[in-house]
Amino acid sequence: GRPAALLTPVALAQLALCLSPLLHPPRAGCGGGALRTVQNPQYVFVNERLNWSSAQRYCRQNFTDLATARTSTNWQALSSVMPSYQNLWIGVYRDLNISWSDGTLSSFYPTTLNFYIRPSVVSARCGYHKWLNKNNWFFSTCERKYPFICHKGEFSITLF
């Protein structure tokens, strides 16, 4: 195989800065930006009730991150590990935009954009999947406690 490219400490530090936490908008000096995706993610159901931030931390420590679905194929794989009769945290977050847990913007939605925000627009920021509505994402306060789904897989990083 090809030898890995060697990076100077300065170049390595610049790359780390440009990739953390995968920026939108990109930082000055980073080119157009960076895109980090997980290739062929595997989804894992965690039957422990945590708030959204604790679930995110658990997934990052033990897997890769809270579950993301960037394609309909990903969503089908994610849906296949969802148990019945439980609301589940997934890695979608609502701020000014709809983003994934890793900071990238969400451009995939399982159906026509169908979001439900409870109890109010201001405090409902963290995304969960409601078992009765297989293809809809809901948003709630982040302090609620639900089981969750993590994903694992190898990162593919594209600089542009």
CATH number of the CATH domain containing 147:
3.10.100.10
Residue 2 maps to a domain: no
Residue 32 maps to a domain: no
155 or 50, which is more confident?
50
Looking at 22-31, 47-56, 59-68, which range is the least confident one? 22-31
Cβ atoms within 10 Å of 107's Cβ, excluding its own? 9
Answer whether residue 155 shows pLDDT above 90. Answer: no
pLDDT of amino acid 24: 43
- DSSP reduced 3-state for 5: coil
Residue 79: domain span: 39-153
pLDDT of amino acid 70: 80
Residue 4 maps to a domain: no
Residue 1 maps to a domain: no
Calpha distance 64→125 (Å, rounded): 21
The amino acid at residue 3 is P
pLDDT of amino acid 122: 62
**Across all residues in the chain, what is the average pLDDT?**
73
Q: Could you tell me the pLDDT band of residue 88, with boundaries at 50, 70 and 90?
A: very high
> Do the beta carbons of residue 152 and residue 42 sit within 8 Å?
yes
Residue 12 maps to a domain: no
Looking at 102-106, 134-138, 153-157, which range is the least confident one? 153-157
Answer whether residue 54 shows pLDDT above 90. Answer: yes
> Do the beta carbons of residue 108 and residue 143 sit within 8 Å?
no
The amino acid at residue 104 is T
Calpha distance 147→134 (Å, rounded): 16
Calpha distance 47→60 (Å, rounded): 16
pLDDT of amino acid 12: 43
14-39 exposure pattern, b = at least 16 Cβ within 10 A, e = fewer: eeeebbeebeeeeeeebeebbeebbe
pLDDT of amino acid 10: 47
Residue 159 maps to a domain: no
pLDDT of amino acid 120: 53
> Do the beta carbons of residue 146 and residue 89 sit within 8 Å?
yes
Residue 112 maps to a domain: yes
Domain total for the chain? 1
